[in-house]
Structure 1
Amino acid sequence: MLAFTVYDTKMLMAHLLKGELFDHFTIRQAEVNSFASFSINGTKEESYMTEEDPEPYCLWADIKPFVFQTVKGKKLPKSMKLVFSLPKEKTERYPNVKAVFLNLLFREGSLLCTTSVAEETFSLEQKATKQWDEDVLNFFKKHQIAIQIET
C-alpha cells in the first residue's frame, strides 16, 4: 500500500472532474459531502451489462457528470471520497490479483491518495502490490501531478 498527498489539489480536481485523465478507471464508490451528502455505488445493474462489455463497474467517464454536479459552485465540498479500480481486463498484468484500487480522499482542502490490491490468494511476495504502486507513481509523474509520499 502506498499513501501520498497531492500538492496541487485544484489541478487534480480539474483533471478529475473536467478532463479525461481518469476516465479509463472504473468507479467502485463515490461519496460527496457538499450542500448535501451523496453516495454512488459504481456497480452496474445486471440488465445494463452486455456480452461485449462484461465489466460489472461503471467507468468514471459515465459517473463523472453526476459527481461534478454535486461539487460545482462557489464553495468547496466538505469532503469527497472516490474509490477507483482498473477494469478487469487491465488487471491481467498483475499476478494473483482480483482488483487494484486507487482511493482519493479530499478533506479540509487536502487530497490524500492511497493504493491497495485485492489478491486472489494470500501471498507474502507482494509483487502485485509493488507493481501497482509503481504504476500509480508513474501515472502521476507522467501527467506532472506533484505528490508527497507519506511515511
Structure 2
Amino acid sequence: MIAIKIKSTKNFMAKLLASEVFDAFLLDSAEIAVANTYTIDGHINKEFYGEDEEGAPTGTLTPWSEVRQRCFDLIKGKRTPLSFKFLLCLNSDKKDELLSSEEYSEVRSLVSSLVMIIKFMDGAITITTGAALSGFSMDKSYEKLWDNYVTAFLDSSNIEFEEL
C-alpha cells in the first residue's frame, strides 16, 4: 500500500472526470461534499433489471465510465468542492491479467479486488492503494505489483505525483 499526492489538481481532475483515462476502473463508492453531500453506491442493483433484459450489467460494480459524467456534474461550478472520495477498483479482467504470472498463483484466488482511494481534502488530492482479500495470506507480493501498476498508470497518463 502506498500513498500518493497529486501535484496538479487541475490536470488530474480533467483526466479523472473529463476523459477516458480512468475508464478501466469500476466505482465501488463515491462521496462528494459540495452544497450538499452526495453518496453514490457503485454496487449494481440486479433487481432493477429484468431477468432476461438485454444489456443488463453482468458485474457487481458500475463501470467508472457510466458514472463519471454524473460526478463531474456534481463537482463542476464556480466553487471548489469541500471534499470528495472515490473508491475505484480495477476491473476483473485487468486484475486477472495483472496477477496472471505464476509468481502470484497462490494469492490470485484470494485477491478479490485491487483498489485506489482518491481523496480531495484541504485543497490536495491523494491516492491510496489497497487490496481486498477473501482470505489470509502472508504473501504480500501482489501489493507491490499493484503499487507499481498504479504509479506506472499515473506516469503513462501524464499525471505528476509524489509518494508520501
Distance 1:130 1:50, change over 3 A: farther
Corresponding residue for 1:108?
A: 122
Work out whether 1:74 is the aligned partner of 2:74. Answer: no
Which secondary structure does the structure 1 equivalent of 2:128 belong to? strand
Corresponding residue for 2:158?
A: 144
Distance, in Å, in 2 between the alignment partners of 1:126 and 1:148 is: 23
1:83 aligned partner, one-letter code: L
* Structure 1 length-normalised TM: 0.92
Corresponding residue for 1:98?
A: 112
Give the fraction of aligned pairs with identical amino acids, expressed as a percent: 27
Partners of 1:27 and 1:60 within 8 A in 2: yes
Question: How well do the aligned residues superpose, as a CA RMSD in angstroms?
Answer: 1.7
CA displacement at 1:53 relative to structure 2: 4.6
* Structure 2 length-normalised TM: 0.85
Gaps of 5+ in 2: 100-107
CA displacement at 1:88 relative to structure 2: 2.0
Distance, in Å, in 2 between the alignment partners of 1:79 and 1:120 is: 31
CA displacement at 1:57 relative to structure 2: 0.5
Distance 1:88 1:28, change over 3 A: same
Corresponding residue for 2:103?
A: none
Partners of 1:55 and 1:87 within 8 A in 2: no
Gaps of 5+ in 1: none
Q: Between Structure 1 and Structure 2, whose CA radius of gyration is higher?
A: 2
Q: Where has structure 1 moved over 4 Å in runs of 4 or more?
A: 49-53
Corresponding residue for 1:5?
A: 5
Distance, in Å, in 2 between the alignment partners of 1:53 and 1:134 is: 30
Aligned residue pair count = 150
Deviations 1:86-131 (A, max 9, x none): 1222221322311000010001210010000112321122011111
Distance, in Å, in 2 between the alignment partners of 1:67 and 1:80 is: 10
